[in-house]
Amino acid sequence: MPEIQRLDSIPIVFSTTLDATYGLQGGFPIHDLSRPEVVRSSDGAEQTQIRYVNGESSLDEIKLNPFLFSLPSAPQAKEFFRAIQKWEGYVLDVGRDLFRARLVSIVGEGPDQEAEIYLEEVDPDDQELVQPGAVFYWTIGYLDRPSGRLRGSILRFRRLPALSEPELETARREAEKLEGLFE
């Protein structure tokens, strides 16, 4: 596995979309979603490209091959969301007004839980992703701003890009090696 070159790291700053997509823990600056970002692995051969469209927070394209990434520099956040409870969830079934989900706490309290969550809690951009098996991240916490503190709930669904043929070919070669693990 190649090491990842941290282009210009900053402490605990992740974007909403990355946080939702990859389940990273920690807070994120609310206003820092429009910057194009590039991450490069140290061997130069593998690159991860992450592109945002028109400054919107949705993740348009990810080519993540392989493994780890860090984020380039960003201005210090003036608004900061501090999670006091965060779950990784996956959808069990979907009804007309709500969906049922299994929740596993990854920040904060609690055993595994099962909840019926109102669909209106889901970002409009994510509504199409609400289907059985889909993974999401639900964060509850405080938004600290210069003008004061707000409490809030953010629920974002993970997006998966389709496999590229090179990715699939790499996986097949690795699978052949894994086959050798069995008698």
Partner 1 sequence: MSKLSSTLSPPASNELEISIFGPGYGESILLHIGNSEWILIDSCVEPNSGEPAALHYLTQIGVDVESAVKLIVATHWHDDHVGGLSKVVDKCTSANVALSGALSIKEFLTLVAVHRHRAIATTSSLKELAAVLHTLEERGKKGKRAVVDRQLHQSRIPLSSGVAEAKIFSVSPSDGSLQQATLAFTQLLRDSDKVLRSPTPNHAAVVLWVEVGRHVMLLGADLECTADSNRGWLAILNDSTVIAAREQKAKIFKVAHHGAKSAHEPRVWNDIISPEPIAVLTPFARGNISLPTVGDKNRIKNLTPSAFITAAPREHEHTWRNRVVRDLVNEATRSIRDVHSGWGHVRVRQTIEDPQDNWRTELFGDAVPLDEVA
49: nearest Cα among 57, 58, 59: 59
Q: Is 64 in the site for partner 1 (CB under 8 A)?
A: yes
Q: Which is nearer to partner 1, 55 or 180 (CB)?
A: 180
Q: Which is nearer to partner 1, 56 or 93 (CB)?
A: 93
Q: Is 165 in the site for partner 1 (CB under 8 A)?
A: no
CA 113 to mean position of chain CA atoms: 21
Q: Are strands 47-52 and 37-41 parallel, antiparallel or unpaired?
A: antiparallel
Q: Is 107 in the site for partner 1 (CB under 8 A)?
A: no
**Which tokens sit at 17?**
């979309």
Q: Is 121 in the site for partner 1 (CB under 8 A)?
A: yes
The Cα 135–Cα 99 span in angstroms is: 12
**Which tokens sit at 143?**
């938004």
Q: Which is nearer to partner 1, 75 or 82 (CB)?
A: 82
The Cα 159–Cα 169 span in angstroms is: 22
Binding site for partner 1 (CB under 8 A): 21-23, 64-67, 84-85, 88, 90-93, 98, 100, 102-104, 106, 108-118, 121, 131-135, 140, 142, 151-153, 155, 158, 160-163, 167-168, 170-172, 174-176, 178-179, 181-183
